[in-house]
Structure 1
């Protein structure tokens, strides 16, 4: 009899454990979403939007209208209020919800602030569950290599659907001579021009870059206006720029300059090579790192400096940052 009762208790315990595990798995599953706009902007808190920011918070977004309509002072008003951006199709995990806003972490943007990814608040309307999209993520993918590219409703490319950013990744459904049919998070199959993308079997299939590859990638964006927290071909901040150049070349580095400065391999100034990251800090280079650039050779760097300007090439010494030089790191061996 005792053995029978023991068996019953054991069976009930097993069922309870399975039920708990199933509930946890279901809960975890419902927390996963995909970005459904060309680039979602993450804020430090919900409901910080100004009137000028509304084009960035809708679905679809109009990032060009947003960035070009802001005055310099309005751009400065974003400093400290934005966290990062997440590109179309990016995976996020929802941590919290307040009204129409959700706090998420963006996967593949490493930070010490959260082991899952970079945190911030965004409108929930810019996310979709994307189950069908998720099921296609094991396919080859199209990586956008133009600064921006258009998704089209049809193969001929005469019905535009959405302008998406450099470094966006979308699963390939079928490849043609001049076009590629891709899956989207919530809008079914769309078309891209093949000239705007590179197609890879998986992330490991992206060729290992040289430092010069990183530099050449950066030069695509010369003249692009700065955007605090920017991570797209519509605008970059300094570390969003360096992160994106590396990520598009198959290397994931930390999101922020202060953390980028603690990874990779330290490089002495006399040994700098193209593609190395250069860091600049307060207190004449001895304080907190606040800026990062890419070394291009001949004492020059390419970077996205601040809200008053754009992606540009400067001599290190006369860039305005020369006295703040705080060292360099190499992420390519």
Structure 2
């Protein structure tokens, strides 16, 4: 990271190294692109988790904490009744989520809402990535961030972690999710300095994060490593379309476990079930994905879990439950097992 460090030294010489994110943001205004959300334009998510909806302006009152800037995902989840949680899926309200700093492409605009495609979430529905509607107020653009975004990054590997205004962790900022990736700017003994989507900077605890030169530089995991990562989220309540340490749906959970280990798989369970290599039941290994389908396993795929070894599987099941480990032979699941796929080369 010598080149990166030389860049940081240069920033320090012009007085940028020790300012707070608020001060830095003000200083960066002249360097930022005026974000007008035009079709085809690139932008970056400026909230901890952006929720993508199937249409603009379809939110219920209870959904407001998910559509503000900043967002409060914990409040949103805690305030929803079970019936309201079911409505998210039953009425087809949500598409997916995108994390802080995720790159998106503007597809359409309607008032204060934009339809975006999320980079890095493969789907046959949209070449640019999984798409949905979100408030334009949750997006930003900084030339500085765009320049750094494809370079070395810091990835949060705790279920959630906070950003801090100083490396001493005295001034706590936004809570961000597992798998959040922000450009690496430097480090102290206990903290990484990262760039924020608006072009300012913050600090992340080293205990909660790792650094990588690129997505390709992330070491290929063992299946057991994927399982151990998943265990961090045991007890986390399900969220339809969830893609974060604040809540996962079934395929959001498997997608994130793999992507955080450098392997990108399709976003949806039905598409995950058609990729990778098929595996016989008796040959299952930890990390393999198990798919479940309607009509006793002969219909359309509706659920995915990860094999955890010793006849057990880990998954984010449904709105009634939390991330859990249960036997593969559990009634209601085993009868619908339709296939097993492996995404890690032996």
Q: TM-score, normalised by structure 1?
A: 0.90
Pair 1:196-2:230 in alignment:
no
Q: 2:52, 2:134 within 8 Å by CA — same for their partners in 1?
A: yes
Q: Which residue of 2 aligns with 1:77?
A: 87
Task: Note the aligned Cα RMSD (angstroms).
Answer: 1.3
Report the Cα distance in structure 2 between the residues aligned to 1:105 and 1:31, rounded to whole angstroms. Answer: 11
Cα deviation for residue 30 of structure 1 reads 6.3
Per-residue CA shift, 1:173-214, capped at 9, x if unaligned? 111210011000016100100110010111111111000011
Per-residue CA shift, 1:250-289, capped at 9, x if unaligned? 0000000000000000000010000000000000000000
Cα deviation for residue 138 of structure 1 reads 3.6
Report the Cα distance in structure 2 between the residues aligned to 1:283 and 1:29, rounded to whole angstroms. Answer: 42
Q: Which residue of 1 aligns with 2:296?
A: 284
Q: Which residue of 2 aligns with 1:59?
A: 69
Given the alignment, which residue of 149, 158, 167 partners 1:137?
A: 149
Deviating beyond 3 angstroms after TM superposition, the runs of 4 or more aligned structure 1 residues are 27-30
Report the Cα distance in structure 1 between the residues aligned to 2:135 and 2:162, rounded to whole angstroms. Answer: 23
Give SS of 1:78's match.
helix
Give SS of 1:96's match.
strand
Given the alignment, which residue of 298, 305, 325 partners 2:310?
A: 298
Report the Cα distance in structure 2 between the residues aligned to 1:296 and 1:313, rounded to whole angstroms. Answer: 8
Pair 1:101-2:85 in alignment:
no
Given the alignment, which residue of 251, 254, 257 partners 2:266?
A: 254
Report the Cα distance in structure 1 between the residues aligned to 2:105 and 2:199, rounded to whole angstroms. Answer: 20
Alignment gaps of 5+ in structure 1: 1-26
Give SS of 1:329's match.
strand
Alignment gaps of 5+ in structure 2: 1-36
Q: 2:157, 2:210 within 8 Å by CA — same for their partners in 1?
A: yes
Give SS of 1:53's match.
helix
Q: Which residue of 2 aligns with 1:158?
A: 170
Pair 1:222-2:248 in alignment:
no
Pair 1:113-2:125 in alignment:
yes
Report the Cα distance in structure 2 between the residues aligned to 1:189 and 1:261, rounded to whole angstroms. Answer: 40
Q: Which residue of 1 aligns with 2:52?
A: 42
Given the alignment, which residue of 234, 254, 257 partners 1:245?
A: 257
Given the alignment, which residue of 326, 329, 333 partners 2:341?
A: 329
Report the Cα distance in structure 1 between the residues aligned to 2:175 and 2:201, rounded to whole angstroms. Answer: 15
